[in-house]
Amino acid sequence: MSTSARGVRRMRLTAAVVLLGVPLALPTGSEGPPLALEQVRLELVTDGLRAPTGVVAVNDGSARLLVLEKGGRVRVVADGSLEPEPWLDLSGAVSGGSEQGLLGLALHPEFEENGRLFVNYTDLEGDTVVAEYSAAPRGATDPDSARQLLFIDQPHELHNGGGLAFGPDGHLYIGVGDGGWPNDVIQTGQDTDRLFGTILRIDVDGTEGDLPYAIPAGNPFADGGGRAEIWDYGLRNPWRFSFDSATGDLFIADVGYLTHEEINVHPSGTPGGLNYGWSITEGFGCFAAESCDTSDLTPPLTVYGGRSLKTGNCAIIGGTVYRGDTLPMLDGRLLYGDFCSGRIWTLLVGAAGTLPEEQLDTDLTISSFGLDADGVPLLTDYAGGAVYRLVPAPAS
């Protein structure tokens, strides 16, 4: 990377921190098969976007991509070109301040037949709204079709989470941050009577009582002891999570406070109710005490840590497990990155003893990862207003 590119990165860092978190440092070493940085490169898919926060492939055979803009618009990329008109425009209803905005989008598993899609955004009062919309076949979304599923009164403008994804079980999973106050002073991380600091799981194909959704069987607090929607808890700000298409394992990136950024995992088939520790722990250690009881906590899969201006890291961006032949060197690896440093790491999943490896060192402000219709990894550049695809590097 050139000196000028690194200078651009440093200038972006100050503005970038308002979206996701605090500067932390670099993972070390690897015991897995080594990867050469020269094996993959980034290819521009499109630019001209305003603060993109996510990218989703349309599962209707069209190969279209939907890109979320923080200010509330969903843009369409078709045949490699950014269409001028948004697919859905919520800019009049979305607060775009600080870490707020249009933060999540998920298409129903049967979207091609039913046109149902779900968004997660902060409204003009700064509160979280999860809503359902309807789209015409191969057409735009009807803005008048909104049906609110979930409302969360947010105490702060930070740590909204915002991720949405359908699991292999067909249920909708929702990431919610801890409410945003420093040091978890409002004590939400371990409070299962509130929805903060959690991954939620709901059944959008049913209703239950006055709820516009049903509570899936197996949710750990379905019969009491906490909010019935909660699947896992003890998270600070889960910024992006995804399911491994081969195993069904759920990988959650959790933005740290001072010492460590985390990748957490919920293995497929494991009952709900995993407690990832915040704010008893951060990373593998106790957060605010010299000792703490970790016997009922689920430790991270991996961490990177230590506030460092030298590395420029600040907030983990959860990625995706790649499965495919286009990038054989990445098959079976979880990709994730850092918002401020632009570094991308990979971790071989399902192999004991492997540690992260740095895969690319970019000057991008990575805000999200995704997969295109062929399963090829994508990422969004928040400051650069662009979407990139990972492709094999030319043979030297």
How far apart are alpha carbons 66 and 117 in whole angstroms?
11
Enumerate domains of the chain plus CATH numbers: 3-392 (2.120.10.30)
> How high is the pLDDT of residue 26?
29
Whole-structure pTM value: 0.91
- The one-letter amino acid at 100: Q
**Residues paired with 268 in a beta bridge:** none
Tokens representing residue 32 in the block: 């897995």
How far apart are alpha carbons 365 and 97 in whole angstroms?
18
End-to-end CA distance of the chain: 18
**Helices and strands, number each (H, E), in the chain:** 2, 27
How far apart are alpha carbons 354 and 388 in whole angstroms?
27
How far apart are alpha carbons 131 and 123 in whole angstroms?
11
How far apart are alpha carbons 231 and 222 in whole angstroms?
10
> How high is the pLDDT of residue 27?
32
Half-sphere CA count of 387, side-chain side, radius 13 A? 29
> How high is the pLDDT of residue 61?
87
> How high is the pLDDT of residue 182?
79
Tokens representing residue 197 in the block: 């600091």
In this structure, are residues 275 and 235 in contact, taking their beta carbons and an 8 Å threshold? no
Type and span of the H or E element at 322: strand 316-322
> How high is the pLDDT of residue 96?
86
> How high is the pLDDT of residue 308?
63
Per-residue pLDDT in tens (0 to 9) along the chain, 396 residues: 333 333 334 334 333 333 443 322 223 333 334 444 568 999 999 999 999 999 999 988 899 999 999 999 999 999 989 999 999 999 999 998 889 999 999 999 999 999 999 999 999 999 999 999 999 877 789 888 999 999 999 999 999 999 999 999 999 999 999 998 778 888 899 999 999 999 999 999 999 999 999 999 999 999 999 999 999 999 999 999 999 999 999 999 999 987 889 999 999 999 999 999 999 999 999 998 999 999 999 999 999 874 566 668 889 999 999 999 999 999 999 999 999 999 999 999 987 777 898 889 999 999 999 999 999 999 999 999 999 999 999 876
> How high is the pLDDT of residue 25?
29
Per-residue pLDDT tens over the stretch 58-106: 988 899 999 999 999 999 999 989 999 999 999 999 998 889 999 999 9
How far apart are alpha carbons 325 and 306 in whole angstroms?
36
